[in-house]
Structure 1
Amino acid sequence: MVTINPAARANVTLIDHPLVQHKLTLMRKKEASTSSFRRLLNELAGLMIYEVCRDMPLQDLEIETPLEKTTGKVIDGKKLVFASVLRAGNGILDGVLSVVPGARVGHVGLYRDPKTLQAVEYYFKMPSNMEERDVVIVDPMLATGNSAAAAVTRLKACKPKSIKFLCLLTCPEGINTLYKEHPDVRVFTAAIDRGLNDHGYIMPGLGDAGDRIFGTQ
């Protein structure tokens, strides 16, 4: 069994809120329908993004309440980019955008070669002025870590201010691989499962997230 590098584990935030764990368990069930899987993923993403955005910078904004003028705190959602790793990452977008609707959206098209398990890029589109933006990569699974590392490498070429990685599930192999390639990227996840099977799937996992989101099983 693969063990997690202690330094890599310190770079992972496990979101263990009871509501997150409850919804994740319902998603794992093999009898969960496509519609319920999507709904739960949407709800989970909306809950998890709160933790991801915990350290976002705030700025003062003068407003007027019904009683008087005051100064409040706001974030600049337009400086945030959600980068979806196609195709499964798109299942997370609605949930995170419901919380931060002003965020921009980018897409990284990657598929995993079934023989080598290495990531192959086929599409890349990001907003302009990336050097002014913070990026949150969204992908339900951090499995082998190869696609995640490839996505981060591609995004770093755009020179964003920061990059974080948000996933539902990960495992020791994925955590170690991403940390080895990009020790500056924090991972936010709802669960760290025991490891990968011979086909590179997380065990016990929840199956192929893309197939379950889009009903292509």
Structure 2
Amino acid sequence: MSNVHVIDHPLVQHKLTLMRRKDASTNSFRRLLGELSTLMAYEVTRDMPLQDFEVETPLETMTGKVIDGKKLVLVSILRAGNGFLEGMLNVVPGARIGHIGLYRDPATLQPVEYYFKMPSEMAERDIIVVDPMLATGNSAAAAVARLKQL
């Protein structure tokens, strides 16, 4: 079962608009993409499960919350997805990174895999696939299908 989450936060909308300006410089586009991906990381990790964690503070021992569950992998669909990695790693710096290279066959219009590199023990990890290029969704669907084979 797949879920689509529309991120309509005002800051996300603002940055998307600035990125789309035809006179946006390469530098400002990259900066805005990094900021956008940081904001998106907050949204896509919003529902991650938490567990209690005892910590010694300067005043006393307390019970706080830490993320519970599997280790996280950010999977970039090459090359467009790479622009999201830095901003997302600002939020989850311990995440591992995987890459899937796909292109669309001009005759069949179907995605063709040319590169696949993932961290070890993928079955024990949660995955966030990053790819800003959503048109037909065929590449994203092929990437997710390939990851499910692991």
Distance 1:77 1:111 in 2: 33
Query: Does the CA contact (< 8 Å) of 1:83 and 1:107 recur in 2?
Result: yes
Give the C-alpha shift of residue 97 in structure 1: 0.5
Identify the residue that residue 40 of structure 1 maps to in structure 2. 32
Question: Secondary structure, in 3 states, of the residue corresponding to 1:36?
Answer: helix
Aligned partner of 2:115 among 118, 123, 129: 123
Identify the residue that residue 21 of structure 2 maps to in structure 1. 29
Identify the residue that residue 20 of structure 1 maps to in structure 2. 12
Distance 1:77 1:124 in 2: 25
Distance 1:53 1:106 in 2: 18
Query: Does the CA contact (< 8 Å) of 1:83 and 1:105 recur in 2?
Result: yes
Distance 1:88 1:16 in 2: 21
Give the C-alpha shift of residue 76 in structure 1: 5.4
Give the C-alpha shift of residue 120 in structure 1: 0.9
Aligned partner of 2:43 among 43, 51, 70: 51
Give the C-alpha shift of residue 78 in structure 1: 7.0
Distance 1:77 1:31 in 2: 43
Query: Does the CA contact (< 8 Å) of 1:77 and 1:102 recur in 2?
Result: no
Give the C-alpha shift of residue 114 in structure 1: 3.3
Structure 1, unaligned stretches of length 5 or more? Answer: 1-6, 159-217
Structure 2, unaligned stretches of length 5 or more? Answer: none
C-alpha change, 1:69 and 1:101, in structure 2 (3 Å) is same
Distance 2:124 2:70 in 1: 10
Q: Which has the higher contact order (CA 8 A, sep 6+)?
A: 1
**Number of equivalent positions:** 150
Give the C-alpha shift of residue 121 in structure 1: 0.6
Distance 1:146 1:58 in 2: 33
Identify the residue that residue 156 of structure 1 maps to in structure 2. 148
Deviates more, 1:53-62 or 1:92-101: 53-62
Query: Does the CA contact (< 8 Å) of 1:83 and 1:135 recur in 2?
Result: yes
Q: For 1:153-198, what per-residue CA distance to the aligned partner results, in whole angstroms no more than 9, with x for missing partners? A: 110011xxxxxxxxxxxxxxxxxxxxxxxxxxxxxxxxxxxxxxxx
Give the C-alpha shift of residue 34 in structure 1: 1.0
Deviating beyond 2 angstroms after TM superposition, the runs of 4 or more aligned structure 1 residues are 113-117
Give the C-alpha shift of residue 60 in structure 1: 1.9
Alignment of 1:107 with 2:86, yes or no, is no
Output aligned runs, 1:74-89, within 5 Å.
Answer: 74-75=66-67, 79-89=71-81
Identify the residue that residue 97 of structure 1 maps to in structure 2. 89
TM-score of the pair, normalised by structure 2: 0.93
Identify the residue that residue 134 of structure 2 maps to in structure 1. 142
